[in-house]
Amino acid sequence: MNSLSKEDFLNGQLLLIDKPLGWSSFQAVNKIKWVIRKKFGLKKIKVGHAGTLDPLATGLLLICTGKFTKKISELQGQIKEYTGTFALGATTPSFDLETEVNEIFPTDHISEQSIREAINGFKGEIEQIPPVFSALKKDGKRLYEYAREGKEVTIKKRTVTISAFEITKITLPEVGFRVVCSKGTYIRSLAHDYGLALDSGAHLSSLRRTKIGDYNVNNAVDPVLFEETLLGRKSKSFEN
Nearest to 60 by CA among 208, 224, 223: 208
The C-alpha atoms of residue 36 and residue 207 are separated, in whole angstroms, by 29
| 53 in Cβ contact with 25 (< 8 Å) | yes
Nearest to 74 by CA among 64, 83, 84: 64
The C-alpha atoms of residue 126 and residue 134 are separated, in whole angstroms, by 19
Alpha helices in 23-104 (DSSP H): 25-40, 72-76
Choose, from 54, 96, 108, 193, the residue flagged as catalytic: 54
Q: List CB contacts of 98: < 8 A, sequence separation 6 or more.
A: 54, 55, 56, 92, 133
The C-alpha atoms of residue 139 and residue 129 are separated, in whole angstroms, by 17
Active site (annotated) includes residue 96: no
Amino acid at 121: G
Looking from the CA of 154 toward its CB, the CA atoms found within 13 Å total: 1
Q: Is 152 exposed, middle or buried (0-12, 13-18, 19+ CB in 10 A)?
A: exposed
- Active site residue ranges: 54
